[in-house]
Structure 1
């Protein structure tokens, strides 16, 4: 039986808009733990991590709240790594997407220790590949991908003990539709594999996911970093940085079910749920359904 551990990271320290700090509690209110337990999973709620409050200051050298973001990520890194070492599957409940730095650095460290191959699926409207010189805002939730690839200040890039934590070929981005001008250049230079919305429009979600999941084998640790703004805001309004034109509810269900079909999902981030932007917690309830699909809920026995 799969053992899951929920880890709350209630902070919006890396975001421009406040409210993602309430995300973990909204997912609990939407009965995430109970929903997963119905599928025969053993789910422990590890409660919330703690870290510095949001000082709501402007950027310094192109970074907002660098020191506080580092503190939160260290805490996330420690919790995720410990969970993996105990043989459990960590489910990080965000919080803003800057926390993926600590989460994925921990997964990468664990994979190095176990001699496993890591594949990260980055489901997001945004590429999150800015740097302090290209960012229009200084918000670090726009920089986790570059940080994990070793671009940025030491205290962010070295969480997890190895710089870079990942090579670009370990990440596949899906659903991207909002990229800043200089960030576009970064993606090109880094050679990141990006399945943007045009690719999904042209090829459909099934072919896109077959491509994104290609090469997975018994030796692969699959990590999903799921930013809720991946979804079209018409169905998932509860996010701080909504971008129109995302995958529909059905397309997202297919995406999740195809990930589940691999049987390789071994760690998960659920990020950027912002109840302050939501309508009666509908986005949180939708996310719970999608996470159930990630862990094998299906209409029929397949």
Structure 2
């Protein structure tokens, strides 16, 4: 990594149905993120947190679209707009944004900012598809709509804040899906994104799948954004997440994937940005999940065993 890293926290849980992920940025920092990055001889600056309104002072149904359901949509728009400006400024100054969530709805802001002036591919590591829209969501939680919003699906096509500029569906790869709602399953099938389930990972191996996903995300783009939801890992490895699902990747599989990202982006393209989301300290055990998030970020930034 020949660029500086800028840490930006987004302590938000408005997009989820379980409190606690708003403390994720603090937990990840407490686990030694800055020190770990600096140990790689990479300069690191922590720019603090984007301001997030408290849910207690907001109406979750205010501003809900006439069709479908999306809780705290107005507040999510405000936060993601702020984050997009911060990320865009970071990229313009030549630094790599490392965004700490918070729930996965913050990805709309990260993707919007990093792709403002550059063609950007996306690697989406997640147990869930996050491809619902307000018309298909069973819960109304925006963290389950974030990728659909980035790609301008449904009502998000007509907003100024959600569709990320310069992100093409053909350059988006989802890795590790194992919990997909009926409506979003159809949305994914009708899109041009590439989706790899845990069945694909089991059959082909994580290295082959991630190599192919990287090829897709980097094909004709200026860089790759990595969105890492910690529920991608099995709950035995990452117990402190908002929506755990059994059957995720192992500790070593996750590190192998991040090490491959560091190797391949150094050779064939730039790591434009990265985000770590859905760490919930309330559900964690001795900050285990936050510490794992720090380890995986370091691997993606170039840390190797030898």
**Equivalent residue number for residue 246 of structure 1:** 248
2:10 aligned residue: 9
2:33 aligns to what?
Answer: 32
CA apart distance, 1:58: 5.0
Q: Could you tell which deviates more after superposition, 46-55 or 56-65?
A: 56-65
Task: Note the 1:208-227 alignment, pairs <5 A.
Answer: 208-214=209-215, 216=218, 220-227=222-229
Give, in angstroms, the shift of residue 2 of structure 1.
1.9
- Aligned structure 1 segments of 4 or more residues deviating by more than 2 angstroms: 55-61, 152-158, 162-167, 215-220
Distance 2:286 2:250 in 1: 20
CA distance in structure 1 between the partners assigned to 2:169 and 2:157 by the alignment: 20
Work out the number of aligned pairs and report it.
294
Question: Match of 1:110, SS?
Answer: coil
Q: 1:279 to 1:76 in 2, by over 3 A?
A: same
Offset of residue 219 of structure 1: 5.8
Give the structure 1 partner of residue 279 of structure 2: 273
Answer yes or no: is 1:146 the counterpart of 2:153. no
Secondary structure of the corresponding residue to residue 202 of structure 1: helix
Q: Residue 98 of structure 1 aligns with which residue?
A: 105
**Partner residue of 1:284?**
290
Matched, 1:297 2:303: yes
- Tell me the residue number matched to 1:114: none
Describe the superposition over 1:201-230 as per-residue Cα deviations: whole angstroms up to 9, x where unpaired.
Answer: 110111111211125379631110111111
> Retained in 1: the 8 A contact 2:259–2:299?
yes
Shift of 1:182: 1.2
Structure 2 residue corresponding to 1:89, chosen from 89, 93, 96: 96
Asked if 1 retains the 8 angstrom alpha-carbon contact of 2:258 and 2:300, the reply is yes
Q: Quote the residue 1:71 is aligned against.
A: 78
Query: 1:230 — aligned with what?
Result: 232
- Residues 166 and 220 of structure 1: CA distance in aligned 2, closer, same or farther (over 3 Å): closer
The change in CA–CA distance for 1:143 and 1:217 in structure 2 (over 3 A counts) is closer
Q: 1:167 to 1:192 in 2, by over 3 A?
A: same
Instruction: Give the alignment of 1:33-52 within 5 angstroms.
Output: 33-52=34-53
Runs of 5+ consecutive residues of structure 2 not aligned to the other structure: none
Q: 1:143 to 1:218 in 2, by over 3 A?
A: closer
**How do 1:196-215 and structure 2 match up within 5 A?**
196-214=197-215
Q: Deviations over 1:38-97 (max 9, x none)?
A: 000000000111021114755544010111111111111111011111111001100110
Gaps of 5+ in 1: 112-116
CA contact (8 A) 1:229 1:236 kept: yes
SS at match of 1:267: strand
1:53 corresponds in structure 2 to 54
Q: CA deviation at 1:158?
A: 2.2
Secondary structure of 1:119's counterpart equals strand
The Cα shift of 1:145 comes to: 1.0
Q: Is the 8 A contact 2:117 2:166 kept in 1?
A: no
